Structure 1
């Protein structure tokens, strides 16, 4: 069996890490698999740049003209009032994916038996997916396949169009102008609704979203978690790492990411609730380890000492950061799975989070962490003390869950079964 995985990139994002890990494990299991991407970031020999379509002369001329004048064009559109412009209060990331450069003829003429799509925005548009003649498995990294332009259901506004269909009479009141989500959904309906696509989802929550959707409720969907490298994400010597990074050994270490967008209570990464939580802490008792970039606005609101890593692409360094922490904080409002909580658990670090979405597949209340009522900051704060008082029990459970439920070989074999099934269908 030969499998072609397709993703935007092979690193730097949850989907990139997941696809890269999967292609490696598939080859370890004897499956000839490669990962085609638009942007290659790693040295994995099984990853390559996807061939592009040949562009017409008209397109090349138009594209050159646009690239030369795009700043002027952008300024013109900003000056001219446009009542039809798409506007929404929905903070969820939106993608149209109307066009793509990948050469579909090359895919169809290749000797791959199965095509495993991952994050395909900017890689293959819906119209081109419909042209693929080979069996397709689509691995979901969010809910974009069955929504409109939004990458997750619009939970904050109780918008269930992903379930009922995107029509003129059910557009949320907060969506103004051109209904971009409906436009994208209609394209998916036109090209993909009747196509025999098998889906995999990393959590039951994400799988249930697809199975309830208007577009793909009749398609087969298998719940198979993303792969994590247990050779990298594992318990390490906490005290030595603290010395290495100059982290105090007499304070409780709290780790978190998404240190931005703190003024919006509906921020999907929970920055607003996070800063409220941190402002409750005793600065003499706690020290913060901030994963990734951090906004100056966020820093200005902190009164606690911290270490900020900046963007980290090296997974070994990332594992070291988790291992320095006593508790990981994940205040997200929606996650398909939550790689950060899984990485923390694989290092034996419990997570406190809100009881929402795919996070609950990893964080089990009072078993591998603490789940607070959405979006109750006081309950989140209560979880810190509970986790500290039950740390050894939680840490042991985290390691067991990671090793059993997210076992690399088990997960890879489940994917191989799906490939075999779609070939027989």
Structure 2
């Protein structure tokens, strides 16, 4: 069986990380898998980049320019929506022609247009599409932010100037997606049960199969190591509790760093001694913009992409906090748990599927700095840290192992091939 995974980037972003891990999991379990990307960042033989890099850059810029015009020349929200009006026809590539299954992942920002997706469906090859966010089930947005229009049909979009109109950009892209999806059967996969429940309510996805399969992680790479050695490698103090926060861009509003700041202020007001015994490590871009706002010693680790440094960062921490306001199945939680680090997060999205309350971490009330502070304090004051670490690792081994996730995808591929052969 030959699988072609398609994702915009090879390594940048959560979807790219998850796609790479699935690529490895499949190849390690008897499947011949390749990944086609726009941005190739390594010399990995199983990863192939699109040709004509200047054309790919133009596709990216043209889509942003069109969105910029629809936003009335405003940069606000420029990357919150995608319209897939330009992309690359991959149906003539060697990798596409050789593949038995086409597996779409995150294909936005000029990688594939709706026209390109229509050609893929018209080729007759079975298509699996892993949803890393809600974009395949909405007109424009990646996260609904409380909007329920996608359950029937998108229009009057809250992300457009003046909340759009009855025939705004979202209504037109919705109609285009409906036409595209009618060209063939798509097997949609959601990384979390939360996202699957949302997807099943979408008016766009009616008639298509929707299932839930989590992302895998390689526990040969992400596993517990000596905490002091990890801290030494990153020049972090050995005599303090370290709280870790991770985001590709620390100041991303959806990642909720302002709730973390307020929680730590509240926590240190109740427990003043923590000002001297607690430190925060921030991993991601723009971390320097936040360090001065925290009432404890803070370390900016910058953006880290290599696995060895990531493993050190997680193992250096006593707890990992993810105050996201909307999230699917964050790789960061999976990575922290695999390294034996208890996690604290809001009862939002797929987060409570990963953190078992007061077992391997703490689930706080949504958007409550007080509840988040209580969760942080619960982990810091837990009498049996080893038990928390063991429960964290056990969660990963039971739910996110490479072999277990690969076998679930292989079963889905076989089902998709059978439906094609027997025209079910």
Quickly name the TM-score band, shorter chain normalised: 0.7 to 0.9
3-state SS, counterpart of residue 5 of structure 1: strand
Separation of aligned partners in 2, 1:371 and 1:408: 26
Separation of aligned partners in 1, 2:224 and 2:217: 14
3-state SS, counterpart of residue 402 of structure 1: helix
Aligned match of 2:310: 318
Q: Deviations over 1:15-39 (max 9, x none)?
A: 1111112122212222111111111
Using a 3 Å threshold, how does the CA distance of structure 1 residues 54 and 169 change in structure 2: closer, same or farther?
A: closer
Report how many residues are paired: 400
- Contact 1:270–1:331 (CA under 8 A) maintained in structure 2: yes
Runs of at least 4 residues off by over 4 Å: 51-55, 86-92, 168-174
Single out whichever of 22-31 and 411-420 deviates more from structure 2.
22-31
- Contact 1:92–1:154 (CA under 8 A) maintained in structure 2: no
1:54 Cα deviation (Å)?
A: 12
Separation of aligned partners in 2, 1:169 and 1:98: 18
Aligned match of 2:338: 346
The answer as to 2:398 corresponding to 1:412 is no
Aligned match of 2:422: none
The answer as to 2:291 corresponding to 1:299 is yes
Separation of aligned partners in 2, 1:372 and 1:84: 35
The answer as to 2:237 corresponding to 1:248 is yes
1:299 Cα deviation (Å)?
A: 2.3
Aligned match of 1:26: 26
Single out whichever of 42-51 and 166-175 deviates more from structure 2.
166-175
RMSD, aligned CA = 3.1
- Contact 2:319–2:343 (CA under 8 A) maintained in structure 1: yes
3-state SS, counterpart of residue 93 of structure 2: helix
Using a 3 Å threshold, how does the CA distance of structure 1 residues 27 and 108 change in structure 2: closer, same or farther?
A: closer
Unaligned runs of 5+ in 1: 56-62
- Contact 1:51–1:102 (CA under 8 A) maintained in structure 2: no
1:93 Cα deviation (Å)?
A: 2.0
Using a 3 Å threshold, how does the CA distance of structure 1 residues 172 and 98 change in structure 2: closer, same or farther?
A: closer
Aligned match of 2:271: none
- Contact 1:201–1:207 (CA under 8 A) maintained in structure 2: yes
1:268 Cα deviation (Å)?
A: 1.0
- Contact 1:351–1:363 (CA under 8 A) maintained in structure 2: yes
Aligned match of 1:272: 258
- Contact 2:70–2:160 (CA under 8 A) maintained in structure 1: no
Separation of aligned partners in 2, 1:48 and 1:88: 32
3-state SS, counterpart of residue 131 of structure 1: helix
Using a 3 Å threshold, how does the CA distance of structure 1 residues 23 and 84 change in structure 2: closer, same or farther?
A: closer
User: Matches of residues 48-197 of structure 1 in structure 2 within 5 Å?
Assistant: 48-51=48-51, 85=72, 93-106=80-93, 110-121=97-108, 122-132=110-120, 133=123, 134-155=125-146, 159-167=147-155, 175-176=163-164, 179-193=168-182, 195-197=184-186
Using a 3 Å threshold, how does the CA distance of structure 1 residues 52 and 162 change in structure 2: closer, same or farther?
A: farther
1:363 Cα deviation (Å)?
A: 1.2
1:172 Cα deviation (Å)?
A: 8.9
TM-score by length of 2: 0.86
1:418 Cα deviation (Å)?
A: 0.8
Separation of aligned partners in 1, 2:415 and 2:214: 18
1:46 Cα deviation (Å)?
A: 0.5
- Contact 1:268–1:332 (CA under 8 A) maintained in structure 2: yes
Separation of aligned partners in 2, 1:248 and 1:116: 44
Single out whichever of 180-189 and 37-46 deviates more from structure 2.
180-189
Single out whichever of 391-400 and 295-304 deviates more from structure 2.
295-304
3-state SS, counterpart of residue 291 of structure 1: strand
TM-score by length of 1: 0.86
1:139 Cα deviation (Å)?
A: 0.8
The answer as to 2:212 corresponding to 1:209 is no
- Contact 2:364–2:372 (CA under 8 A) maintained in structure 1: yes
Q: Deviations over 1:170-224 (max 9, x none)?
A: 9999624783333322221121145300011111111111111111133112211
1:250 Cα deviation (Å)?
A: 2.1
- Contact 2:2–2:98 (CA under 8 A) maintained in structure 1: yes
- Contact 2:77–2:159 (CA under 8 A) maintained in structure 1: no
**Which structure dedicates a bigger proportion of its chain to strand?**
2
Single out whichever of 193-202 and 396-405 deviates more from structure 2.
193-202
- Contact 1:333–1:354 (CA under 8 A) maintained in structure 2: yes
1:256 Cα deviation (Å)?
A: 0.3
1:351 Cα deviation (Å)?
A: 0.9
